Every structure is written in C-alpha cells, then in structure tokens.
C-alpha cells in the first residue's frame, strides 16, 4: 500500500494531529473508527475532522490504501451509532451537571432548554440532521439524553443518521476521488466540504446575534 498516489491535503485549519490525512496515515482504519466514535458522542470531539475524514477515507479506499469500500460502509456507521449511544447515556446521566457548570463557556443550562424546544419543534429528526453539522453532531446526542428524549425514538433516528452520514460521505469520497479533477484538486475540495458543513453554524450564530441585538 502507498499513499503517494493521493495528494495529502496540508490543511491549515488546526493542529497537525487533527488533520484527516495525518490521522489516517498514522492510525489507519482504527484511527478512522476511533475519530468517528469520539466525535459522534464524546464532548471532547468538537475539533475532530469528521466530514473530511470520511471523504478522505473513501478516497483512500478507492486507491487501495484503506480496506474495500464495503468494509468502511459497515464499520463507520457502527462506530458513529455507538458514539451517539454513549453521548446519549452521558446526557441522560450527567447532562444537567455538565450543562450547569458555572465555568463552562458553551455548555450552559439554557442550552438544555433550547435543545428541548428545538426537539419539540423539529422532532427526533433533529438527530439525523445534526449528523451533517460539525460540533452540533457532537452535542446533539448529549442534549437528547439531557432533554430526556424517548430512548427508542433516539435509537431509531440515531441509526438512520449514522448510516446516512457514514455511508453517504464515505461513498461520495470513494467515487469523486476517482475523478481526475477531484483527485488533482483535493485540498480546495475538502476545504469546501468543511466550509459547507460549518455554514449552518455560522448562519445560526448570526441569527442569534441578530435576535440579541434586536431584543
């Protein structure tokens, strides 16, 4: 196996150890699954490159650096679903304590109430939508647990979201990675994927600031 056939995208988005290519080169398939698990359900997973990692994993599967696509399409959703299950358990058991920490900049009691209102408004499909939004992907299962979302409902939508995200993004990377244009312009394309995935967060932040300013 060799990774020379695939250009390694030198992102300047954070430390070297959270870059998709570095994680895959260093830890291989186990690294991919570990990152997916941690980012999906543990609160320390905010900065991990979920979307770009899956896209890159699919691309490297196409050139033989990682296992066959079907292996990724089975194991990645399983890791994603398992991560969310752990996140839900954390929120269910320790959610109120986590969100009420006085020294926490992001995890506050009002976040639980907002998440409950969000779940009431949009329903459990929130768990599916959150899969495709960085940071929200990490918080959603914890918030679902803290908000006491019905467990069986959570599991149902968690499975749908985990399969949709894990299969969809990885397959996209697999097939687009075989297109010459994508292969030759990997860095800007993955940067674009990251930018698009962060866009909903930016929009929500601007809306929140607008409401605060108007109030």
Per-residue pLDDT 10s for the chain (215 aa) are 434 344 444 333 444 545 666 777 777 889 889 889 988 888 776 566 678 888 888 988 888 888 899 999 999 999 999 999 999 999 898 876 766 665 565 556 665 666 666 677 777 888 998 888 777 788 889 888 888 889 999 999 999 999 999 999 999 989 987 777 776 676 676 667 666 666 655 565 566 566 555 55
- What is the predicted pLDDT for the residue at 101? 61
**pLDDT value, residue 123:** 75
What pTM was estimated for this model as a whole?
0.75
Per-residue DSSP letters for the chain?
A: --STTS------SS-GGG-HHHHHHHHHHHHHHHHHHHHHH-TT-TTS-HHHHHHHHHHHHHTTSS--HHHHHHHHHHHHHHHHHHHHHHHHHHHHHHHT-TT-SS--HHHHHHHHHHHHHHGGGHHHHHTTSTTHHHHHHHHHHHTT--HHHHHHHHHHHHHHHHHHHHHHHHHHTTSHHHHHTHHHHHHHHHHHHHHHHHHHHHHHHHHHHH-
Can you give the pLDDT at residue 8?
44
How many whole angstroms separate alpha carbon 36 and alpha carbon 73? Answer: 13
Cα 48 from Cα 40, distance rounded (Å): 10
């Amino acid at each position: 196996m060799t990774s020379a056939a695939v250009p390694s995208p030198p992102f300047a988005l954070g430390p070297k150890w959270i870059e998709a290519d570095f994680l895959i080169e260093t830890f291989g398939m186990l690294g991919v699954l570990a990152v997916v698990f941690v980012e999906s359900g543990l609160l320390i997973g905010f900065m991990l490159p979920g979307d770009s990692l899956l896209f890159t994993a699919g691309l490297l599967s196409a050139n033989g650096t990682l296992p066959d696509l079907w292996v990724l399409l089975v194991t990645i959703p399983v890791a994603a679903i398992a991560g969310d299950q752990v996140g839900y358990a954390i929120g269910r058991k320790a959610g109120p304590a986590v969100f009420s920490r006085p020294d926490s900049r992001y995890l506050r009691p009002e976040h639980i109430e907002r998440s409950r209102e969000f779940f009431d408004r949009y329903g459990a499909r929130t768990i599916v939508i959150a899969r495709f939004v960085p940071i929200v992907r990490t918080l959603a299962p914890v918030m679902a647990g803290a908000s006491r979302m019905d467990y069986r409902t959570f599991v149902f939508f968690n499975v749908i979201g985990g399969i949709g995200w894990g299969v969809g993004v990885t397959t996209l990377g697999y097939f687009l990675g075989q297109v010459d244009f994508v292969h030759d312009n990997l860095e800007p394309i993955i940067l674009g994927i990251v930018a698009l995935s962060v866009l909903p967060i930016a929009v929500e932040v601007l809306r929140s600031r607008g409401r605060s300013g108007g109030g």
